[in-house]
Every structure is written in C-alpha cells, then in structure tokens.
C-alpha cells in the first residue's frame, strides 16, 4: 500500500511476515533532483518486493535516491545494502554504527541474558530464528554519520535530526519544524509500545528513553509518522500514555520483588504481557528474549532511582528491594 501523506511525502507499507509488528512504514520524500527513503524493512523477498514495487509506482529512481535509517534493527536497516546504488548516501547515527562495528556480534548479549537467568541452551537453539539474526543486512555499506541537530534537505522538506536514545543507543528521528512533522522510527508508536531492552549492568536505556520522550514533547508536532502501525495526530497524548505505561511496569516489578531476590528472567515470567499465550512456558523463545530485555531495562531504571538494588552472585545477576 502506498499512501500520500503530504505533497511529495509518501508511506509505503512493507510487510513483516510472522512478526507481531505486522508491517514497517517506509517513508519516501520525492523531489526533482534526489529522493529520500526513510527505513527499509527486513532483508527478505517480501519486504524487497513491496518496497521496490511502491518506489516504482512513485517513479522513484534508485540511482537518484538516498536513505535515512533511524536505527540499527533489522526491520529498518535490513534492506539498505540491496537497495543502495553507487550514488546513494546512507544517513545513520554514530552510536548505532559503533555497535554494528563491534566484534563479537550477538555473543555479548547472549552472555548478558545468561547471567540474568535466561537458559543459554534455549537461547542458542533459537538464535537462528531471531529476525535480527536471520534477516539483517548482508553487509554494511559506507555510512554518512549524522549527529543531533544536523539537517537533511530534500525538495521542499528540511529535516532536523533529533537523537532519541532509548529503543537503541543512537535512535534518531527527523523533525520538519515548518510543517510540524515528526518521523519517529520506533521512538513513538501507537497501539503498541516500543521495546526498550537492556543487556548491560551500567546502561539505563529506559531512563534515556523517558528523557527523549520529554525532549520530543517540547516540539510543535501536528503529525507523527511512526515506524509501525498508524499515524499519530496527538503526539503529546501518546507521549503521556507511554510514560504512564512504563510507570505501571515499574510499579508491577516492585510488587513482584516483594520477596526474595530474583533474576530478570524470573521477573519477566511474572510480568503481564500482551501475547496470546496462557503461560510463560508457552512464550516463543524470541518473545522471552524481548521480555527479559525489557525487564532488565526497568530493573536498571529502578536501580538508578534507588528503588532496587543489584546483587551479583557468582555469574548470576539478581535484583531485590533495598
């Protein structure tokens, strides 16, 4: 599906098969000289066919097209190496680029998950089914790294880069101040909440995410163009709802931690999740991975606030109330 949102600004719906996200919103800014595509989809044929078909219907020549990728996740970054041409510029952020370039791949996250109680054998057996592992970019093309406040101009549109760490360390949105448009990537979503994961004993991605929400709340926005689901007309109401959601999550975790110290995997098993499974044992392993990462993010946030303490028992990371 191709939808015109504003003059020369379009949304192409890119299917994400077997994903609860259902589809990605790729955005296209068309101009007489060069075009810009924001996010691309997974590196799989269904995504490629939908995106290239939409671009063709808009008369977009890939030889005159640049790309802006909001963050490193495969459903946004995955196709860019197949779509780029020799003349394409690929705009990206430095923090996520440094993560991509790190040696070790998935191993640090696997070890962090194991230290937080996730059965390592279960995770390794299911790793090849993780969409980020299975459908990521085949190779990393040359990237033009942008910083917070940098401008990207295409036709009648002047976008300012707004770095919004949280969903990823370097997640970056685009803001068109004159037209009051905010291309949000996975920073602000409707119907679902962005997944905020943590696989570190020192980082606080949920804290950074809430700070990023507060920053975006100061902008004049008439329309949010998210990376998934439908467009959002009331940015401030959605930001308030997202902050309330995370506060409820924190309250839930504090109630769970009323007894003995627990690891994040066991905390996640006791949290409430919007998934069609009767028990934690029924969760697909990738969903357990996302849930455990989100539990760690909330535990780390509560730790930074002094409401939870961190206990290291040999190779096991545990959490408890002070």
> For 19-40, what is the mean pLDDT?
97
What pLDDT does 313 receive? 81
Residue ranges of the domains in the chain? Answer: 2-320
Q: What pLDDT is stored for residue 259 in this prediction?
A: 79
pLDDT at 201: 86
How far does CA 281 lie from the centroid of its chain? 26
Residue pLDDT, tens place only, 226-252: 999 999 999 999 999 999 999 999 999
For residues 216 and 88, give the distance between their C-alpha atoms in angstroms, rounded to a whole number.
29
CATH code: domain 2-320 is 3.60.15.10
Largest CA distance in the chain: 64
137 confidence band (pLDDT: 50, 70, 90) = confident
- pTM of the model as a whole: 0.95
> What is the reported pLDDT for 104?
59
| Residue range 203-224: mean pLDDT, rounded | 99
Instruction: Identify the band that residue 314 occupies on the pLDDT scale cut at 50, 70 and 90.
Output: confident
Confidence label for 103 from pLDDT (cuts 50, 70 and 90): low
First-to-final CA distance of the chain: 52
Range 289-303 average pLDDT: 97
Question: Whole-number mean pLDDT of the chain?
Answer: 94
Would you call 32 exposed, middle or buried from its count of C-beta atoms within 10 A (0-12, 13-18, 19+)? exposed
Q: Which residue has the tokens 């589809």?
A: 23
% of the chain exceeding 90 in pLDDT: 82
CA nearest neighbour of 177 among 122, 114, 221, 126: 221
pLDDT at 109 over 90: no
Report the run of H or E that residue 242 belongs to, with start and end.
Answer: helix 235-256
């Amino acid at each position: 599906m191709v939808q015109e949102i504003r003059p020369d600004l379009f949304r192409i719906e890119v299917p994400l098969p077997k994903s609860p996200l259902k589809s990605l919103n790729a955005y296209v800014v068309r101009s007489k000289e060069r075009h810009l595509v924001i996010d691309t989809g997974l590196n799989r044929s269904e995504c490629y066919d939908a995106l290239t078909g939409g671009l063709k219907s808009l008369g977009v020549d890939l030889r005159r097209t640049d790309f802006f990728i909001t963050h490193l996740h495969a459903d946004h970054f995955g196709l860019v190496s197949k779509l780029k041409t020799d003349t394409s510029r690929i705009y990206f952020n430095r923090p996520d680029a440094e993560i991509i370039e790190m040696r070790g791949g998935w191993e640090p996250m696997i070890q962090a998950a194991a230290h937080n109680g996730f059965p390592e054998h279960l995770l390794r057996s299911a790793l090849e089914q993780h969409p980020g592992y299975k459908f990521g970019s085949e190779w990393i093309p040359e990237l033009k790294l942008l910083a917070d406040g940098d401008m990207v101009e295409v036709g009648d549109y002047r976008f300012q880069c707004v770095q919004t760490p949280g969903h990823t360390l370097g997640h970056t949105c685009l803001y068109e101040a004159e037209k009051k448009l905010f291309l949000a990537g996975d920073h602000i979503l409707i119907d679902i909440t962005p997944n905020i994961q943590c696989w570190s004993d020192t980082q606080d991605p949920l804290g950074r995410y809430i700070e990023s929400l507060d920053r975006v709340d100061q902008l004049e926005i008439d329309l949010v163009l998210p990376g998934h689901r439908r467009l959002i007309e009331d940015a401030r109401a959605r930001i308030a709802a997202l902050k309330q959601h995370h506060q409820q999550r924190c309250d839930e975790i504090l109630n769970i931690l009323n007894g003995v110290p627990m690891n994040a995997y066991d905390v996640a098993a006791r949290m409430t999740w919007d998934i069609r499974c009767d028990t934690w044992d029924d969760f697909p392993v990738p969903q357990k991975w996302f849930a455990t990462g989100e539990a760690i993010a909330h535990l780390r946030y509560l730790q930074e606030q002094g409401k939870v303490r961190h206990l290291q028992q040999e190779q096991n990371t545990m959490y408890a109330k002070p």
